[in-house]
Chains A and B, each alone.
Chain A
Amino acid sequence: QAVVTQEPSLTVSPGGTVTLTCGSSTGAVTSGHYPYWFQQKPGQAPRTLIYDTSNKHSWTPARFSGSLLGGKAALTLSGAQPEDEAEYYCLLSYSGVFWVFGGGTKLTVL
């Protein structure tokens, strides 16, 4: 099965902008992978931030956005807040037959 890659860690200043990416060993990530992004804080279950590349849930802060960028899925955080410090995971669907999580990005707001 495929390998999905994310930056292991990133740091952003409060109020700053950061982009997390999600690549696939099989080639370019497309909308057909239905990219998901999840936020997980210590001791909590994950929460789905973004689905189908760029769609948000009602709880998803407006400062988060999803896109495709340079053959990867991307999660952009504009105007980082201290409460955004968390682990972020992407998930890709491969023809609806198997799904693969990325290794996660530990985002520090500092």
Chain B
Amino acid sequence: QVQLVESGGGVVQPGRSLRLSCAASGFTFSGYGMHWVRQAPGKGLEWVAFISYDGSKKYCADSVKGRFTISRDNSKNTLYLQMNSLRAEDTAVYYCASVREDYWGQGTLVTVSS
């Protein structure tokens, strides 16, 4: 069955970096565009970034532009989110997803705090 498993979350100080991973299985990962979506505690969903199936197109929200980078390794069936210069407002559960196909991970919590 389809599985997306995020990892790499944790507690990090403001200004530091973190890299999230999302391991995919059960479907042809290389055939699908992928998103990162986040949800701050008690808040709504926020779109973070998108990467096309082959990695040639990458887009991100203004709130993370210049700080976050989305990438993928289709040979490893893995999606990444490199997060630099983290801020308190980046605290959230981060989901990887192929939204059109209803493939969602369980999320990984990132807490930015000193």
Q: At the interface, is chain A mostly helix, strand, loop or mixed?
A: strand
Are B50 and A45 touching (Cβ within 8 A)?
no
A103 and B47 CA atoms in complex are apart in Å by: 11
The answer to whether the Cβ of B11 comes within 8 Å of any Cβ in the partner chain is: no
Chain A, Cβ-Cβ closest to B44: A104
Are B107 and A51 touching (Cβ within 8 A)?
no
Question: Which residues 84-100 of B sit at the A interface, judged by CB distance below 8 A?
Answer: 95, 97, 99-100
Are B46 and A101 touching (Cβ within 8 A)?
yes
Are A98 and B104 touching (Cβ within 8 A)?
no
CB distance from B102 to the nearest CB of A (A): 4
The range of chain B's interface size is: 20 to 34
Chain B, Cβ-Cβ closest to A102: B44
A15 and B37 CA atoms in complex are apart in Å by: 33
CB distance from B97 to the nearest CB of A (A): 8
User: A45 and B44 in contact (CB under 8 A), knowing A1-B61, A51-B100?
Assistant: no
Scan A31-48; emit 1 where CB is below 8 A from any B CB, else 0.
Answer: 000001010100001111
User: A101 and B102 in contact (CB under 8 A), knowing A45-B95, A45-B107?
Assistant: no
Question: Which residues 32-78 of B sit at the A interface, judged by CB distance below 8 A?
Answer: 35, 37, 44-47, 50, 59-62
Are A101 and B44 touching (Cβ within 8 A)?
yes
Are A48 and B35 touching (Cβ within 8 A)?
no
Chain A, Cβ-Cβ closest to B100: A51
Q: Which residues of B contact A (CB under 8 A)?
A: 35, 37, 44-47, 50, 59-62, 95, 97, 99-102, 104-107
* Closest A-B pairs by Cβ, 8 of them: A48-B102, A99-B47, A104-B44, A101-B45, A45-B104, A51-B100, A57-B102, A89-B45
Q: Which residues of A contact B (CB under 8 A)?
A: 1, 36, 38, 40, 45-48, 51-52, 57, 59, 87, 89, 91, 96-104
* Interface contacts beyond A45-B104, A47-B104, A98-B61: sample of 15 additional A-B pairs, CB < 8 Å, sorted by A: A1-B62, A36-B99, A38-B99, A45-B95, A45-B105, A46-B45, A46-B97, A47-B102, A57-B102, A89-B45, A98-B47, A98-B50, A98-B59, A100-B47, A104-B45
